[in-house]
Amino acid sequence: MENGHSIPVFLTKLYTIVQGNQEQEILRFDESGRILVLADQERLQQYLLPEYFGHKNLPSFLRYYTLNMDRQLNMYGFKKRHNNGVLEFKHKYFRRDGKQGLQVNQDNF
């Protein structure tokens, strides 16, 4: 934030989720720390989206927000791929090794 830029709230919350120990079975970094793995879309919808993004457990909101999350990831330059039925997302600055990369490279999001 040296240059007055802040990390977008969506990215901050997403980073918090993947850093949480309890959420690793749902959403995590791969072994390299460079790929975001969505291992359990159902549990993401049931537990993490309402908790971190404040939506109720209504199925319509969850379906909408899952689509919206995909749009958010796309908007910030994440590339989606399917790997044996598991969704993965990659961005060159969104990594396990710290939010500093998000802050320094925020203009690239």
Give me the CATH number covering residue 39: 1.10.10.10
Is residue 105 domain-resident? no
For the entire predicted model, the pTM comes to: 0.74
Is residue 104 domain-resident? no
What is the tally of structural domains in the chain?
1
pLDDT tens for 51-77 read 887 754 434 444 555 667 777 788 788
Six token digits for residue 32: 């390299």
pLDDT tens for 10-59 read 888 888 888 887 778 889 999 999 999 988 888 887 888 778 877 544 34
- Give pLDDT, residue 29: 93
Residue type, 85: G
Residue type, 3: N
Is residue 77 domain-resident? yes
Q: How far is residue 42's CA from residue 109's CA, in Å, rounded to a whole number?
A: 27
Q: How far is residue 34's CA from residue 18's CA, in Å, rounded to a whole number?
A: 12
